[in-house]
């Protein structure tokens, strides 16, 4: 019989170890140490599946942005195909614990190809398990990465940038509202349908505010006619600097500004010490996919984003 329970102190950070796969074991353990150190998780959020012989055969860990008391995602989801009931039991336990902690939604991402730190092999099976547990695909995403070169492209001379420190939040939320009324991002479109454009903009701005950033990093770029054209919200997540959100106002699309704003956010992060920067976008957002590529980023992985209402 399989028992789902919190991990014991001596089982952390290893959790489930894979025989003959030292790279995977080391990477996942180091990742959990980082999550604990940054307060993205805590020991009581680490669940394991123990078989009748006392061996750990599965795990799942609840995750939040640093220091939050309510989790919003699961990571390090590992379960064998046999016995078949272990994986669903782990997901059910994670859902129940997240709900008890006050979570209203729970997410999980599946990256391919499999890579550190989670090594999510067999993505098709993972996706099926998530769907059976009530999750649905929120976005078919593309992940981009730039190892910052010695010299970056210059800023677009057509744009004049002003920061959050100068403008305050209202112009940023206003511009986000305008952007979200016509977005190719499936997840953001769903937020607009659910909360309205203003509500979705306020939520996006609040969510980005939970990352580490300097108000001088966040900028609106103004066109020569004085109208707001682009928005750039670079930040640092617990693992790496990111282009957290970049976008072009509907009235200024088709001018090449998507590449310009990606370069601007990159330059801001690089000026503040970033040596590697990442960014994501919806595969359907062709303009943004092209912008990342033109700004020098490499599409190193695909990412399915799953979510479930609790």
Can you give the CATH number for the domain in which 266 is found?
3.40.630.30
Does 97 lie in the same domain as 224?
A: no
> What pLDDT score was predicted for residue 1?
76
Element (H, E) at 77: strand 73-78
- The token pair at 51 is 């078989």
Average pLDDT value over all residues in the chain:
95
pLDDT at position 179, please? 96
Residue where a domain terminates, one of 82, 99, 134: 134
Domain boundary among 134, 151, 184: 134
- Assessment of whether the complete model's pTM goes beyond 0.85: yes
| pLDDT tens for each residue of 22-80 | 999 999 999 999 999 999 999 999 999 999 888 999 999 999 999 899 999 999 999 88
Indicate if the alpha-carbon torsion angle 295, 298, 302, 304 is positive or negative.
negative
Specify whether the CB–CB gap between 14 and 25 falls below 8 A: yes
If 0-12 CB within 10 Å is exposed, 13-18 middle and 19+ buried, where does residue 49 land?
A: buried
The reply to whether 77 and 166 lie within a common domain is no
To the nearest 10 degrees (0 to 180), the angle between helices 123-132 and 86-100 is 50
Distance CA 186, CA 204 (A): 14
Least confident of 65-69, 250-254, 269-273, 285-289: 65-69
SS3 letters across 275-291: CEEEEEEECCCHHHHHH
Written as six digits, the tokens of 159 are 């744009």
The verdict on 180 and 51 lying in the same domain is no
Cis amide leading into 117 (omega within 30):
yes
Q: Which two tokens stand for residue 110?
A: 């599946």
Is 67 within a domain? yes
Q: Is the same domain home to 130 and 14?
A: yes
Identify the domain containing residue 242 by its residue range.
160-302
- For residues 278 and 172, state if they share a domain: yes
pLDDT band at 274 (very low <50, low <70, confident <90, very high): very high
Q: What is the pLDDT of residues 107-128, one digit of tens each?
A: 999 999 989 899 998 899 999 9
CB atoms within 10 A of CB 277: 25
> At 198, is the pLDDT very low, low, confident or very high (cuts 50, 70, 90)?
very high
Contacts of 87 (CB under 8 A, 6+ apart): 58, 77, 79, 80, 81, 129
* 125 and 258 belong to one structural domain: no
The residues with which 309 forms a beta bridge, in sequence order, are: 105
**Is residue 176 a part of any domain in this protein?**
yes
Note the pLDDT tens digit of each residue in 143-195: 999 999 989 999 999 999 999 999 999 999 999 999 999 999 999 999 999 99
Same domain, 164 and 125: no
Residues 225 and 99 in one domain: no
Per the domain annotation, does 150 fall within a domain? Answer: no
Whether 40 maps to a domain, the answer reads yes
Q: Concatenated DSSP letters for 165-233?
A: HHH-SHHHHHHHHHHHTT---HHHHHHHHHHHHHHHHHHHHHHHTTSB--TTT-EEEEPTTS-EEEEEE
Same domain, 126 and 167: no
Query: Are residues 237 and 125 in contact, defined by beta-carbon separation less than 8 angstroms?
Result: no
Q: What is the 3-state secondary structure (H, E, C) of 89-130?
A: HHHHHHHHHHHHCCCCEEEEEEEECCCCCCCCCCHHHHHHHH
Q: Of 71, 99, 134, which one is at a domain's C-terminal end?
A: 134
Residues 191 and 283 reside in one and the same domain: yes
Residue 304 sits at the vertex; the CA angle it makes with 293 and 232, to the nearest 5 degrees, is 45
Does residue 259 lie in a domain region?
Answer: yes
Are the beta carbons of 43 and 9 closer than 8 angstroms? yes
- Is residue 310 in some structural domain? no
Per 3-state DSSP, the chain is made up of helix, strand and coil in percentages (nearest 5) of 35, 30, 35
Identify whether 146 is part of a domain.
Answer: no
Given a cut of 90, whether residue 81 has pLDDT beyond it is no
SS3 269: helix
Judge if 280 and 216 occupy the same domain. yes
Same domain for 113 and 60: yes
How many domains does the chain fold into? 2
| Residue of 257, 250, 267 lying closest to 288 (CA atoms) | 257
* Residue 307 domain-assigned (yes or no): no
């Amino acid at each position: 019989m399989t028992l789902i329970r919190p991990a014991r102190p001596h089982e952390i950070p290893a959790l489930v170890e894979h025989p003959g796969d030292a790279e995977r074991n080391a990477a996942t353990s180091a990742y959990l140490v980082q999550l604990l150190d940054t307060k993205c998780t805590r020991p009581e959020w680490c669940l394991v599946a123990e078989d009748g012989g006392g061996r750990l055969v599965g795990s799942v860990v609840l995750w939040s942005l640093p220091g939050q008391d309510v989790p919003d995602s699961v990571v390090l989801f590992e379960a064998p195909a046999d016995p078949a009931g272990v994986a669903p039991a782990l997901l059910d336990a994670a859902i129940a614990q997240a709900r008890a902690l006050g979570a209203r939604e729970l997410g999980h991402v599946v990256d391919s190809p499999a890579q550190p730190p989670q090594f999510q092999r067999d993505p098709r099976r993972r996706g099926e398990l998530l769907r059976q547990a009530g999750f649905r695909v929120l976005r078919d995403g593309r992940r981009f990465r730039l190892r910052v070169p010695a010299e970056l492209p210059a800023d677009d001379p057509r744009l004049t940038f002003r920061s959050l420190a100068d403008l305050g939040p209202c112009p940023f939320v206003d511009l986000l509202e305008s952007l979200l009324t016509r977005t190719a991002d499936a997840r953001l479109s769903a937020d607009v349908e659910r909360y309205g454009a203003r509500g979705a903009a306020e939520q996006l701005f609040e969510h980005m505010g939970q990352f580490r950033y300097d108000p001088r990093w966040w900028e609106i770029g103004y066109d020569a006619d004085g109208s707001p054209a682009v928005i750039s919200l670079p930040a640092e997540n617990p693992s790496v600097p990111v282009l957290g959100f970049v976008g072009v106002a509907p009235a200024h699309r088709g001018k090449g500004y998507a590449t310009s704003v990606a370069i601007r956010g990159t330059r801001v992060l690089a000026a503040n010490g970033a040596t590697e920067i990442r960014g994501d976008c919806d595969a359907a957002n062709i303009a943004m996919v092209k912008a990342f590529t033109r700004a020098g980023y490499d599409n190193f992985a695909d990412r399915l984003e799953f979510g479930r209402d609790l």
